[in-house]
Structures are given as structure tokens and as C-alpha cells.
Amino acid sequence: MEIYNHPTFHMACEQFDLVADYLDIPQHQRDRLKFPKRSMTVALPIRLDDGMVKVFTGYRVQHHLTLGPTKGGLRYHPSVTLGEVAALAMWMSWKCALTGLPYGGAKGGITCDPRNMSVGELERLTRRFTQEMIPFIGPQIDVMAPDLGTNEQTMAWMMDTYSMHMGHTVPSIVTGKPVSLHGSLGRRESTGRGVAYLINRAMDVTGLTARNATAVVQGFGNVGSVTAYSLAKYGVKTIALSDVNGGIYNAKGIDLWELEKHIAKENTVVGFSEAEPIANGTLLLLPCDILVPAALERQITKDNAAKIKCRILAEAANGPTTPEADEILKLRDEIFIIPDILCNSGGVIVSYFEWVQDLQSFFWTETEVMDKLFRIMEQAFTATLQMSRKQNFSMRMAALSLGIKRVQEAKKLRGLFP
Ligand code: NAD
């Protein structure tokens, strides 16, 4: 479909086609599984602080509604397009199915640069987007969450706008809310902690010891920073990390707690006195045990896949590795890949817990949340590893196959409508 024309959407389709061939999915079922059920594009006029009116474009893609409501993040970034959002929605579907959650995948985004907007402008934009989405969302229809460039405050504005429209408070309309507005304990940290948990499991498999291991993290936002702190608790040393402004490197390990003080003042990792600067491209090629891309899609490409020097590639971001890079990595047995739909699934799993708690108005302790999270992640990791070994194919193919097969079965059982 032309409207989704975007490299990231083509990449998601290529991955799907490979798995569909392996699973022998009949041609007539493939388009139903691949193309989104619903896509919305909305014009969002808001008044800027200088009094001018600017129209932004917002998107929401609901990939399939066969297993329950759709679930997925909302992204604020200058390069957001419908095709990118559709790819991310498709990956969400496979991720939810892999981890056994009662959801289809969704994703949304607004093409904007949140770093150059005031809090007031962001609030008006978020409320306007929510208002436009009201006919298409609901706790049993589509539930949003934070992603790149959005956070708990964004979710609080969305919940408030929706609740004011309904005439009563509806916490279950979004997840990733502040805990004081019925968010879940542990949600903010869940994706990064899940990434670190799986890295620990991958270290068991590859025979690495946490105490001697080094990590490189691209993208020191929510997911990247929590991953680095959690790895530090296991004893892993982070030697390089970056944000959109640039990277920093210290072969002896970066003191994350000192770095936190620097970020509080400067709002970037750049300029940290106890490390030297490093370019983002070079950072990915540093020799290390664990490489964690935790920023954007398409970072490991055919140009650098042969040159990365890690033992474990933990895909915290969505779609950080292109299919061409995957072909190269397939020949590099020494690298153990934790594929994105498994690696960063901790976020949507705890989002699911938040939704369940909100629907029941009955809240769990952080220990209960983490315990349940790690149990689901362990199951998904073990199933993926077993399938990869049994079929002798990559962890990515195994994870995608498990997810896609579950959605295919559900569609077959329900019939043509959902
Ligand atoms: P975030 O906005 O909190 O952080 C993103 C970080 O990446 C920031 O530090 C930003 O400066 C940095 N960055 C942006 N462009 C960069 C570049 N070119 N080079 C290096 N760094 C760059 O976002 P997040 O929530 O941490 O999400 C990161 C990734 O994880 C995204 O791909 C997102 O889709 C994925 N993800 C997030 C969650 C979640 O719960 N937040 C769940 C699953 C997947």
C-alpha cells in the first residue's frame, strides 16, 4: 500500500515475508496480517506562545483488533511519518503476541520537535491530538503509552482530556501515567529493567560474567539510562553512552551517578568531565561485550554490521537493525542478538499490568509488578531460545515466528471481520 511507503515499513514487511515463507502462511492471509486495520491522520492546529497558529500532523495506526484492544506508544519526533508509525504498530502486534498479552499492536506520533517547544505548546498539542482521537480510542479499543519524546506528563494530559470528555475519570485510557494518577509502580523503569534482565540471561547463555563485562549504550533517555543503571547493579561497566547531542567514552567505566549530576545541570551527557567525547557512529563500533542501541531505528546497517565488536546485541530500541545488516550478522555466530520485540517488551508488559490495575482499581506493590514482569520475560526468552535452537535460525526469526503464528491462529479462528 502506497500510503505506508517508508523504509521502516518496508523493513517490517521484509521481516514479515521471511517468517510467512517459513510458516508457510497462505498468500491470501498475508495481506490481512500485514496491513493495518485502521490508520488515522489528523491536522492539529494549535496556538504557539508567540500568538501564531501552527498546524501539526498526527498519526495513529491500529494494526489488528483480533485479540483485544490495540496498545502502543505515542512518539513526538521531527521525522515521524505514517509509514514509520505503521511499521512500529506491526512490531507491537508481534511483541504483544510473543509475550501473550491480550492486545493488538498500535503506534502513534506527531511530527514535531518537542525539544524546541514550550511546556504550554506541548500541552496544547497533546490535548488537541487526544480530542481528535476520541472517536477511535477507549480502554477497550486503543490504549496509548509514552515513547520517544513523550513521557508521564504527556499521558497525564491525555488522560485528563479524555476524562473531561467522558465526564468521569478514566485512568485506563493510557498507561505510563504518573503513579499519583493511577500509573503503575515500576512502569517508568520497566523497559530498561527488562532489557537488563534479558542481557543477564544472554550472559548465562554466552558464558559471559557480569563483573567482567562492558557495555556501550546508544541513547541515554528513559530506556537507555535505566538499562545502564540496572546493568551496573549486576556489576557491568558502561564504557560509552550517547544522546542526540553526542557521545562520551571512558575505558575504565563511566560513573553513572556522577553523570546524573552533570545531566541535571546541562541536560545532556556531552561535556561530562570524567569522559572523553566520541562520535555516535564511532561509539557503535567500540569493542565491548554488550551493545545496546536504545535510540532510533536503522542504526545497525549494512555499512557497520561487519564492524561492530560486541558479544551481545541487545535491541532496546525498536527496529535498530536493518534486514541487510541482519544478513551480515547471521554469519557472525559470535554475536548473540536479543531481538527488539523481545528485548524491549518489558514496557508493554508493565503497561498491561497498569491497565489491569486501573480496570480493577486495585493496585500492586513494585515487588509484585517486577516479579510478574520477569516471569513473563523469562517465558518469552526461553520459548524464543528453544525455537531458535530447534529450528537452527536466528533469535529474531524465532521471536517473530512465535508472535506472527499466534496472530495468524487467532485470525483463522475468528474469521474475516476482525
Ligand atoms: P527517550 O526520548 O526517553 O530517549 C531517547 C534517547 O535517544 C534520548 O537520550 C535522545 O537524546 C537519544 N537520541 C535521539 N537520537 C539519537 C541519535 N541519533 N543518536 C544517539 N542518541 C539519540 O525515548 P525512550 O522511551 O528511551 O525510547 C528509546 C527507544 O526505545 C525507542 O526506539 C522506543 O521506541 C523504544 N522503546 C521505548 C519503550 C518505553 O517504555 N519508553 C518501550 C519499548 C521500546
pLDDT number for residue 416: 86
Ligand 1: atom nearest CA of 187 is 40
Q: Choose one of 11, 93, 321, 344 to mutate for the ligand 1 pocket test, by most ligand atoms within 8 angstroms of C-beta.
A: 344
- In this structure, the residue with its CA closest to atom 27 of ligand 1 is 148
pLDDT number for residue 4: 94
CA 279-293-274 angle, 5° bins = 45
Which phi-psi region, left, alpha or beta, contains residue 138 (left: φ > 0; alpha: ψ -120 to 50)? left
CB 15 within 8 A of CB 49: no
**Phi then psi for 81, rounded to 5 degrees?**
-135, 170
Q: Which residues pair with 208 in a beta bridge?
A: none
pLDDT number for residue 90: 97
Distance between CA atoms of residues 187 and 370, nearest Å: 9
Largest CA distance in the chain: 62
Query: Per-residue pLDDT for 358 more than 90?
Result: yes
Q: Choose one of 195, 222, 249 to mutate for the ligand 1 pocket test, by most ligand atoms within 8 angstroms of C-beta.
A: 222
Spatial neighbors of 36 by CB under 8 A, at least 6 apart, are 4, 61, 62, 63, 64, 86, 89, 90
Secondary structure, 3-state, 205-267: HHCCCHHHCEEEEECCCHHHHHHHHHHHHHCCEEEEEEECCEEEECCCCCCHHHHHHHHHHHC
Closest CA to 221 of 279, 292, 288: 292
For 375-410, the DSSP string reads HHHHHHHHHHHHHHHHHT--HHHHHHHHHHHHHHHH
- 48 C-beta neighbours (distance < 10 Å), count: 14
Q: Which residues line ligand 1 (CB under 6 A)?
A: 146-149, 191, 218-224, 242-244, 280, 294-296, 316-318, 344, 347
Query: Per-residue pLDDT for 159 more than 80?
Result: yes
- pLDDT tens, residue by residue, 64-74: 999 999 999 99
Could you tell me the distance, in angstroms and rounded to a whole number, from the CA of residue 149 to the centre of ligand 1?
A: 8
Q: What percent of the chain has pLDDT over 90?
A: 97
Query: Per-residue pLDDT for 1 more than 80?
Result: no
**Active-site positions?**
107
Strands, E assignment, 8-138 = 38-47, 53-62, 70-77, 104-111
Supply the Cα-derived Rg of the chain in whole angstroms: 21
Could you tell me the distance, in angstroms and rounded to a whole number, from the CA of residue 239 to the centre of ligand 1?
A: 19
Spatial neighbors of 313 by CB under 8 A, at least 6 apart, are 291, 293, 300, 321, 329, 335, 336, 337, 338
pLDDT number for residue 350: 98
Distance between CA atoms of residues 399 and 381, nearest Å: 9
Q: What is the mean pLDDT of the chain?
A: 96
Tell me if 2-171 shares its fold with 190-343.
Answer: yes
Could you tell me the distance, in angstroms and rounded to a whole number, from the CA of residue 357 to the centre of ligand 1?
A: 26
- pLDDT tens, residue by residue, 275-289: 999 999 999 999 999
pLDDT number for residue 62: 98
**Phi then psi for 36, rounded to 5 degrees?**
-60, 145
- In this structure, the residue with its CA closest to atom 37 of ligand 1 is 147
3-class DSSP state of 337: strand
Ligand 1: atom nearest CA of 176 is 40
Q: Per CATH, which fold does 190-343 belong to?
A: Rossmann fold (3.40.50)
Q: In whole angstroms, how far apart are CA 362 and each of 179, 182, 183, 224?
A: 13, 10, 11, 30
Virtual CA dihedral for 285, 290, 293, 294, nearest 10 degrees?
Answer: -140
Which phi-psi region, left, alpha or beta, contains residue 192 (left: φ > 0; alpha: ψ -120 to 50)? alpha
Q: Choose one of 112, 242, 243, 350 to mutate for the ligand 1 pocket test, by most ligand atoms within 8 angstroms of C-beta.
A: 243
Ligand 1: atom nearest CA of 319 is 32
- In this structure, the residue with its CA closest to atom 42 of ligand 1 is 347
pLDDT number for residue 326: 93
Query: Per-residue pLDDT for 57 more than 90?
Result: yes
CA 336-280-323 angle, 5° bins = 45
Mean pLDDT of 324-352: 96
Secondary structure, 3-state, 13-47: HHHHHHHHHHHCCCHHHHHHHHCCCEEEEEEEEEE
Ligand 1: atom nearest CA of 88 is 34
Could you tell me the distance, in angstroms and rounded to a whole number, from the CA of residue 22 to the centre of ligand 1?
A: 32
Distance between CA atoms of residues 120 and 74, nearest Å: 18
Query: Per-residue pLDDT for 373 more than 80?
Result: yes
Q: Where are the domains of the chain?
A: 2-171, 190-343
pLDDT interval class at 2 (50, 70, 90): confident
Distance between CA atoms of residues 30 and 21, nearest Å: 10
- pLDDT tens, residue by residue, 20-56: 999 999 998 999 999 999 999 999 999 999 999 999 9
pLDDT interval class at 417 (50, 70, 90): confident
Ligand 1: atom nearest CA of 191 is 40
CATH classification code of 2-171: 3.40.50.10860
- In this structure, the residue with its CA closest to atom 17 of ligand 1 is 244
